[in-house]
C-alpha cells in the first residue's frame, strides 16, 4: 500500500474527503518526524513505538579497494511493533482477529 492508497482507504472508511484524509496523514507523519528529531518516542497503543536508533562510529572497508574507512555515527528511525499487532499479523485470519479485538470500528 502506498500513500495514495492509504489516503483513499482513510477517506473511504472515515467518510471524509481525500484532501482531508491527506491532511490528517501528513499531520500524523509530521508530528512523528518532529518527535523523533527531538529524540522523543511516539507510542501508539496496540500498534507500536517509533523511536530513534543511534549508531556509533565504526570501522568498515571499501568493497572496491579493501581500504579501511571510518563510518560516521548516524541516527535512524526505528519501529517496534506492539504485541497486539504482532499477534494479529501472525493469525491466519488476522482481519477477523483484529475486528474481534474491538480495535476497529465497523461502520
pLDDT in tens, 9-32: 999 999 999 999 999 999 999 999
Q: Where are the alpha helices (DSSP H) in the chain?
A: 3-14, 18-37, 83-89, 94-100
Q: Regarding predicted confidence, which is higher, 87 or 64?
A: 64
The answer, yes or no, to whether residue 91 has pLDDT greater than 60, is yes
* CB-based contacts of 107, cutoff 8 Å, min separation 6: 13, 15
| pLDDT for 100 | 66
Amino acid at each position: 500500500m502506498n500513500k495514495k492508497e492509504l489516503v483513499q482507504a482513510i477517506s473511504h472508511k472515515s467518510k471524509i474527503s481525500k484532501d482531508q484524509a491527506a491532511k490528517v496523514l501528513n499531520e500524523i507523519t509530521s508530528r512523528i518526524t518532529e518527535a523523533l528529531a527531538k529524540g522523543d518516542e511516539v507510542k501508539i497503543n496496540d500498534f507500536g513505538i517509533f523511536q530513534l536508533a543511534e549508531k556509533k562510529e565504526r570501522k568498515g572497508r571499501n568493497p572496491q579497494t579493501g581500504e579501511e574507512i571510518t563510518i560516521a555515527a548516524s541516527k535512524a528511525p526505528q519501529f517496534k511493533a506492539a504485541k497486539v499487532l504482532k499477534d494479529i499479523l501472525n493469525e491466519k485470519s488476522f482481519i477477523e482477529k483484529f475486528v474481534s479485538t474491538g480495535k476497529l470500528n465497523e461502520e
